[in-house]
Amino acid sequence: MACAVGPGFAPEVAVFRDWSRAPCTNPLAARSNSTFSSSRALIRANSVPGVAHTAREVLAKRKSINALAPRLSALPVRTLVVIGEKDVACIAPASVMTSAIPDSRLAVVPGAGHFNNLEEPAALNALILAFLNASS
């Protein structure tokens, strides 16, 4: 996602426009106007410098999921790893997590992207309930 600056440029509009076209977030943009508007309001509540700082100082510096795999293998609890079917950026990390965590299961929310809790809340709830009921 690239941002430009200059007279008349509204960076939050460009950031959101580009964000909503990304493959993992595009399913959210296709949802109801209220869900999309709520998500857009959450994003716009952040300043562009704040988002840039988060990207530089948090996201770029965090350990990769592959680097964390040895620690994940020590998790002593049943774990449900959830991704949206269209969240292509998270498929590989979810697979690493599911492989690394001894008592884990991967659940895929059909038709959802990165925001599966907003896009398909009923489907997500059903997956979680099934996991919890199987754990009892």
Of 5 and 132, the structure prediction assigns the larger pLDDT to 132
Query: Per the confidence metrics, is the pTM higher than 0.75?
Result: no
Q: Is the pLDDT of residue 93 over 90?
A: yes
Alpha carbon of 135 to those of 65, 99, 121: distances in Å?
25, 19, 21
Q: Is the pLDDT of residue 27 over 80?
A: no
Q: Span 19-36, mean pLDDT?
A: 62
CA dist 128 and 44 (Å) reads: 30
Asked if 101 and 87 count as a contact pair (C-beta separation under 8 A), the reply is no
64-136 classified as CATH 3.40.50.1820? yes
CA dist 83 and 22 (Å) reads: 16
Q: What are the domain boundaries of the chain?
A: 1-62, 64-136
**What are 56's strand-pairing partners?**
none
